[in-house]
Structure 1
Amino acid sequence: MIRHWPRPSDYRTVWEAMQRFTAERDENTADEIWLVEHPPVYTLGQAGKPEHLLNPGNIPVVQTDRGGQVTYHGPGQIMAYVLMDLKRANRFIKAMVNQLEQATIDTLAVYGLKKACRKEGAPGVYVPSGHDLAKIAALGIKVRNGCTYHGMALNVAMELSPFNGINPCGYAGLQTVCMADYGVTASWEEVAQTLSEQITRHCGLQLD
Structure 2
Amino acid sequence: MPQHNNLHWLGEGRDYRATWAAMRRYTARRTPETPDAFWALTHPPVFTQGLAGKPEHLLSPGFIPVVPSDRGGQVTYHGPGQLMLYTLVDLKRAGLGPRDWVHRLEQAVIDWLSERGVSGERRSDAPGVYVEGAKIAALGLKIRQGRCYHGLSFNIDMDLTPFARINPCGYQGLAVTDVQRVLGGGATHECDLPAIAHELVDNLTR
Same topology, TM > 0.5: yes
Tell me, in whole angstroms, the C-alpha distance in 2 between the residues paired with 1:84 and 1:188: 21
The question of 1:165 aligning with 2:175 is answered no
Give yes or no for the alignment of 1:108 onto 2:113. Answer: yes
Corresponding residue number in structure 1 for 2:126: 122
Q: Does residue 61 of structure 1 match 2:69?
A: no
Structure 1 consecutive aligned stretches of length 4 or more whose deviation exceeds 6 Å: none
State the distance in 1 between where 2:34 and 2:196 align.
27
Structure 1 gap segments, 5+ residues each = 202-208
Write the letter of the residue equivalent to 2:128: G
Percentage of matched positions with identical amino acids: 52
SS of the residue 2:43 aligns to: coil
Q: How far apart are the structure 2 equivalents of 1:75 and 1:112?
A: 25
2-side partners of 1:21 and 1:87: how far apart? 16
Aligned 8 A contact 2:7 2:198 in 1: no
Whether the 8 Å CA contact 2:9–2:194 is kept in 1: the answer is no
Counterpart of 1:205? none
| 1:155 CA drift (Å) | 0.2
Q: Secondary structure at the match of 2:205?
A: helix
Which secondary structure does the structure 1 equivalent of 2:128 belong to?
strand
Please give the per-residue CA displacement for 1:58-96, whole angstroms capped at 9, x wherever unaligned.
Answer: 000000000000000000000000011111111111111
Deviations 1:84-128 (A, max 9, x none): 111111111111111111011111122331x10101211000001
Letter in 1 for 2:131: V
| Partner in structure 2 of residue 42 of structure 1 | 47
Give the deviation of 1:16 after TM superposition: 0.3
- Alpha-carbon distance between aligned partners in 1 of 2:200 and 2:117, rounded to the nearest angstrom: 14
Shift of 1:198: 1.5
Aligned-partner Cα distance in 1 for 2:23–2:166: 26
Deviation at 1:199, TM superposition (A): 2.3
Partner of 1:33: 38
Q: Quick one: which amino acid aligns to residue 25 of structure 1?
A: R
Partner residue of 1:98?
103
How far 1:141 moved relative to its partner? 0.4
CA–CA separation in structure 2 for the residues paired with 1:111 and 1:29: 35
Q: Which amino acid letter does the alignment assign opposite residue 117 of structure 1?
A: E
Q: Which residue number corresponds to residue 3 of structure 2?
A: none
**Aligned counterpart, 2:144:** 144
Specify the code of the residue in structure 2 equivalent to 1:138.
A
SS at match of 2:202: helix
> Deviation string for 1:13-68 (max 9, x for gaps)?
10000000000001100100000100000000011001100010100000000000
Aligned position for 2:179: 179
Give the Cα–Cα distance (whole angstroms) in 1 for the partners of residues 126 and 36 of structure 2.
27
Q: Are 1:9 and 2:10 counterparts?
A: no
Structure 2: how far apart are the matches of 1:79 and 1:49?
A: 23
Deviations 1:155-184 (A, max 9, x none): 000000000000000000000000100223
Q: Across the two proteins, how many residue pairs are aligned to each other?
A: 196
Where structure 2 has 5 or more consecutive residues not aligned to the other structure, the ranges are 1-5
Shift of 1:195: 1.4
